[in-house]
Structure 1
Amino acid sequence: MLTGVRIVVLGGDARQLEVIQKCAELDATVSVVGFDQLEQVIPGIEHRELKDEVFASADVLVLPVVSCDDQGKVSSSFSGEPIVLKKEHMAALPEHCTVFTGMAKPFLRELCEENGLRLVEVLDRDDIALYNSIPTAEGAIAIAIKETDFTIHGSECIVLGIGRTGFTLAKTLQGLGANVRVGIRRNEDVARATIMGWKPFMTTDLAAQTGEVDLLFNTIPTMIITAQILSRMPQKAVIIDLASAPGGCDFRYADKRGIKALLAPGLPGIVAPKTAGGIIADALIRLLLEEQNAREVKS
């Protein structure tokens, strides 16, 4: 149980609703800021305004998956007013407060460091990233089905990168009957890809691989699908870029060539917010319970 733990949730999307609900069910005191247009009634929570006193008694501050920009602006799907996290808000947090987000921009990291606050970036955790790769893969395939007039079964698919997302995506495409090639950047990944039944190639050789591609999925957050690569691709091909904005594709040149190229970051929160929110909530709750148990052992 989280009895006595005060949690402030600042902005966010449908994923935060799962965090709010699960924490409230475990008897935490949950205050929410930036949910004034929320139609859903969640029992046991307090709607508050963005003021220093809201932060002063917080044990945990929960920010959206992409915390805030470098001006402190926090995104919120349920607020009609802009939400800006200011230095004085962070300074009002108690020293023991933990700041919880998906991934932090430099602005938030600096504020946490200046105020001696612990910052937890949940997307850095392997278990969370692995769980998140499932809705990402499903969302990418849903886009592929919508944007093409052929089946994935029997199609020629390339997945660039076989990290957590790339691995899950390649495995899912394979399960649907696609012919899967994977672009790798390390020689040691050759065996891993081969054992899975995929055809590996070095990303430096991408130009030689794209002549017969139907679907190209990118998970590498750097410019990799260049104009040179695009010039060799068939116009019927569809590119789905899953890397963080601005992605890894020359979208201007893709458009010029008539190749459909889509930037699709953050799919878990779009295609499966309940599942994605549950993953984040479970991670937060585990962290809080671990800290609670550690304090009890010390006492």
Structure 2
Amino acid sequence: MEPKKFLILGGDNRSIELANLLYEDGHNITISHIEGLNFRDCHIIIGPLPFTKDNKTINAPFHIEKIPIEIVFESMKKGQVLMAGGIADEQMKKAMKYGIELVDYFDREELQILNAIPTAEGAIKLAIEHSVITLHNSNVLILGFGRIGKILANMLHGIGANVYIAARKVKDIAWIKSLNYKAIGFNQLNENVGDMDFVFNTIPSLILTKERLEHFHRKTLIIDLASKPGGVDFMQAEELGIKVIHALGLPGKVAPLTAANIIKETIYNIIEERGI
């Protein structure tokens, strides 16, 4: 790949590491600050993951002042490329009005699969830090058997945990059994959750309702890995004395360099495929 001019816009530790990785690859890198920058000189602007948390400004925790998305779009020229993660349809439509090519790298399957690795490791780290028992020989329930569920199950099984997985699809149940995990149907949750030491939720919808939480043991630790609003009735869990951790953005917190490298490789794939 020929050297390109990248502008890194906002973001957390992943963005800092990403800037370093791109620089090491021989690219021209500018770290963002809206005032005084000429966006139009850049080949590609790389935004954060998630792109925004309030749907109005760029997710930029290290910036003193907020960066309005509208100002960014106004500062770009038609046909210019901005890549970021977790972009809402509203922002996509707004970018189209400005003639900007807005690309969501978080939609890419390769990123989501590899990003599940630091997410799973971060979840295990939290489980160890917030419990008085070992994961080894503990009863662990994973809700969902998607990308994160698969990788997390493999890691927990390797540690020596007794891994139970709740899934709906018949083919997922078959895979769970074939991998020597214990499959639980969602209609069987109430009769099984009381035996669990740890529960990891990966499903982005309300799964652990008030009715289901009443069957939990008070010492069970729940780690919710689902995006907001999560899959747990948090108020009810608190009333019942059940500890819940809503663990968001784990890759950027526990392994920012690894997460940045995953984003970099995904961006390179997009550049190659689109001929940017």
TM-score band, normalised by the shorter chain? over 0.9
What is the rounded CA distance, in whole Å, between the counterparts of 2:81 and 2:144 in structure 1? 33
Q: Which residue of 2 aligns with 1:7?
A: 6
Residue 181 of structure 1 is aligned with which of 161, 164, 171?
Answer: 164
Q: Which residue of 2 aligns with 1:147?
A: 130
CA RMSD of aligned residues (A): 1.9
Q: Which residue of 2 aligns with 1:44?
A: none
Q: Write out per-residue CA displacement over residues 10-36 of structure 1, whole angstroms, 9 at most, x where no aligned residue.
A: 1111101222122223333322214xx
The answer for unaligned runs of 5 or more in structure 2 is: none
1:262 equivalent in alignment to 2:261 = no
Residue 231 of structure 2 is aligned with which of 248, 262, 267?
Answer: 248
Q: Write out per-residue CA displacement over residues 169-226 of structure 1, whole angstroms, 9 at most, x where no aligned residue.
A: 0111111111111111211211111111111122243222212111000000000001
Q: Which residue of 2 aligns with 1:42?
A: none
Cα–Cα, structure 1 residues 21 and 200, in superposed 2: closer, same or farther, change >3 Å?
Answer: same
**Equivalent residue letter for 2:57:** K
SS in 1 for 2:166: strand
What is the rounded CA distance, in whole Å, between the counterparts of 1:209 and 1:119 in structure 2? 45
SS in 2 for 1:11: coil
Q: Which has the larger displacement, 124-133 or 144-153?
A: 124-133
What is the rounded CA distance, in whole Å, between the counterparts of 1:137 and 1:71 in structure 2? 28
Q: Write out per-residue CA displacement over residues 96-128 of structure 1, whole angstroms, 9 at most, x where no aligned residue.
A: 322211211234222222234333222222211
Corresponding pairs, count:
276
Q: Which residue of 2 aligns with 1:46?
A: none
TM-score, scaled relative to structure 1:
0.86
The answer for unaligned runs of 5 or more in structure 1 is: 35-48
Matches within 5 A, 1:100-139: 100-139=83-122
What is the rounded CA distance, in whole Å, between the counterparts of 1:203 and 1:56 in structure 2? 52
Q: Which residue of 1 aligns with 2:60?
A: 76
Q: Which residue of 2 aligns with 1:65?
A: 49
TM-score, scaled relative to structure 2:
0.93
How far is the alpha carbon of 1:71 from its aligned partner? 4.0
Residue 172 of structure 1 is aligned with which of 155, 172, 177?
Answer: 155
Q: Which has the larger displacement, 19-28 or 159-168?
A: 19-28
Q: Which residue of 1 aligns with 2:19?
A: 20
Contact 2:168 2:186 in 1 (8 A): yes
Q: Write out per-residue CA displacement over residues 135-193 of structure 1, whole angstroms, 9 at most, x where no aligned residue.
A: 11111011101111111111111000110001000111111111111111211211111
**Equivalent residue letter for 2:43:** D
Percent identical among aligned pairs is 33
Structure 1 residue runs of 4 or more that deviate by more than 3 Å after TM superposition: none
Q: Which residue of 2 aligns with 1:90?
A: 73
Q: Which residue of 1 aligns with 2:40?
A: 56
Q: Which has the larger displacement, 57-66 or 159-168?
A: 57-66
Q: Write out per-residue CA displacement over residues 23-58 of structure 1, whole angstroms, 9 at most, x where no aligned residue.
A: 223333322214xxxxxxxxxxxxxx346x622233
1:192 equivalent in alignment to 2:175 = yes
SS in 2 for 1:200: strand
Residue 157 of structure 1 is aligned with which of 120, 140, 143?
Answer: 140
